[in-house]
């Protein structure tokens, strides 16, 4: 079972639909749910996705997105993890990197350049269009991570932990605006 932590993104249902189209079972869990209520699901998860959402790492101290990131960093959860947008920022924040306001807060299409396809971007073109929001963005890599992609406005559009199966993207692979975005989710489903 893939557990998708819904941090309030308007696109969370598309993540689930993408996995369903791959014949992967997925369940959406609200990020405001107390951890104890979903602890067993989280610990038994085959994979975990942290969705995007309107929250900010600066004022969101008790959501499941933060709790799961902290537990994964502490080694209490071992499932592969994918952070999308806000999830990407939370992973960076929990691992000690700088997250700050981006140059542009609006949603829009941006060109992403792949620097290292690694596992998560395998098979993606060297440059592709993606649906992004840079209200907040990761300004420096967390310790133990490597950058996988960048854009003109954001130096870390995708990253991964060098040893653990932790991946994160600033953009939204689940929406049709992102070219071949479903391939990123397929790659994650194979980790």
In angstroms, what CA-CA distances link 32 with 35, 41, 95, 130, 188?
Answer: 9, 15, 21, 28, 25
Tell me the torsion sign for CA atoms 73, 43, 157, 136.
Answer: negative
* Structural element, H or E, at residue 187: helix 181-189
Cβ-proximal residues to 110 (8 Å cutoff; 6+ apart), any chain: 129, 130, 132, 151, 152, 153, 154, 157, 171
Is 154 annotated as catalytic?
no
The residue annotated as part of the active site, out of 85, 88, 154, 186, is: 85
The residue annotated as part of the active site, out of 88, 134, 161, 172, is: 172
- If one counts every other C-beta atom within 10 angstroms of the C-beta of residue 149, the result is 27
The residue annotated as part of the active site, out of 137, 157, 174, 179, is: 174
Chain position carrying tokens 């942290």? 50
- If one counts every other C-beta atom within 10 angstroms of the C-beta of residue 189, the result is 19
Is 85 annotated as catalytic?
yes
**Residue 147 C-alpha from the chain's centroid:** 14
Q: Whose CA is closest to 52, among 25, 87, 103?
A: 87
Q: Which positions are annotated as active-site residues?
A: 85, 172, 174
């Amino acid at each position: 079972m893939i557990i998708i932590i819904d941090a309030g993104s308007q696109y969370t249902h598309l993540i689930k639909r993408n996995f369903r189209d791959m014949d992967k079972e997925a369940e959406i869990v609200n990020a405001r749910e107390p951890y104890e209520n979903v602890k067993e699901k989280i610990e038994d998860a085959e994979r975990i996705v942290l969705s995007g959402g309107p929250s900010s790492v600066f004022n969101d101290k008790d959501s499941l997105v933060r709790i799961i990131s902290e537990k994964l960093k502490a080694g209490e959860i071992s499932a592969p993890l994918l952070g999308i947008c806000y999830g990407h920022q939370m992973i960076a924040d929990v691992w000690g990197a700088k997250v700050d306001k981006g140059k542009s807060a609006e949603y829009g299409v941006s060109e992403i350049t792949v620097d290292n396809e690694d596992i998560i971007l395998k098979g993606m073109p060297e440059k592709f269009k993606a649906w992004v929001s840079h209200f907040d963005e990761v300004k420096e890599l967390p310790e133990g991570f490597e950058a996988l992609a960048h854009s003109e406005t954001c130096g870390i559009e995708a990253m991964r932990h060098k040893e653990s199966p932790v991946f994160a993207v600033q953009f939204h692979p689940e929406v049709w605006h992102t070219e071949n975005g479903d391939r990123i989710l397929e790659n994650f489903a194979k980790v």
